[in-house]
Amino acid sequence: MKVAEALAAIETFDLRHQALLGEQAEAAQRTKTDPTVRQLRQRRAALDTQVQQQASALKQLELEVAELAGRVKSHEKAIYDGSVRHPADLQRRQHELETLRVKIQGLEETELSQMEAQEQTSAELVEVRAQLIEREQEVERLRAADRANAPKLAAEILAGEEERRQLAESLAPSQLRTYERTVARRRPAVAKVVNGTCSGCRLPLPSRLLQEARQDQLVTCENCERILLL
């Protein structure tokens, strides 16, 4: 295998190794609390609290309406059963009765508005609970797949590392250093020569470099500094 071919193979191993390590990292991250699950749980808790608060407020409104309705009945009884005879007392009770009815109407309107708000909150809570269940199930499926794939993934990483090591041992240290310097600046580090042109920067190459590359020398593009592969 030519030097450039070996370095190209090493770069392929490196890219694959990086991708496999990324898969491992993602799998490790999935063993922790999923951000979406955490957000949905927080939203569910907030909505639960909101529904409880709304229910408590509605209960309080119902009690207030019931208390005022009782006072209305008391005044109506006193007015219509003839027990109130003094005109001033009758006028006072009629005025208070009207005031109570206005208050009750206002409370009932508030109660209706809060009931609608509670229905909306409850509907959102149902939706969030469904989303949470769906996401938790999806996360568990992903974790199960990760657990099943973990041995294969680890074996592929080790095999790739061993193949790369053997390939690197066939090269001179200086050649490896050139590769490391190039890959730190350019991706891909190895560029094929196509019709006398560097595929990395797409510029024509001097015939001198092409001749050196044919002689299995480690040659880099004068423009982009990539290692040239014929």
Question: Are 136 and 67 in a shared domain?
Answer: yes
pLDDT of residue 80: 81
Question: Are 52 and 101 in a shared domain?
Answer: yes
Question: Are 161 and 196 in a shared domain?
Answer: no
Residue 106 in any domain: the answer is yes
Handedness of CA 26, 29, 31, 33 (dihedral sign): negative
Cβ atoms of 62 and 111 closer than 8 Å: yes
Mark which of 130, 153, 169 sits at the end of a domain: 169
Domain that holds residue 183: 173-229
Which pairing describes strands 190-194 and 197-198: parallel, antiparallel, or unpaired?
Answer: antiparallel
Length of the chain counted residue by residue: 230
pLDDT of residue 122: 97
Question: Are 96 and 180 in a shared domain?
Answer: no
Residue ranges of E strands in the chain: 190-194, 197-198, 227-229
Residue 61 in any domain: the answer is yes
Q: How many domains does the chain have?
A: 2
Question: Are 100 and 149 in a shared domain?
Answer: yes
Over its length of 230 residues, how does the chain's per-residue pLDDT go in tens digits?
A: 889 999 999 999 999 999 999 999 999 998 998 999 999 999 999 999 999 999 999 999 999 999 999 999 998 888 888 777 788 888 888 899 999 999 999 999 999 999 999 999 999 999 999 999 999 999 999 999 999 999 999 999 999 999 999 999 999 999 999 999 999 999 999 999 999 999 999 999 999 999 999 999 999 999 999 999 99
Question: Are 137 and 107 in a shared domain?
Answer: yes
The span from the CA of 226 to the CA of 201, in Å, is: 9
Pick from 182, 229, 221, 189: nearest CA to 203: 221
Tell me the CATH number at 136.
Answer: 1.10.287
Residue 177 in any domain: the answer is yes
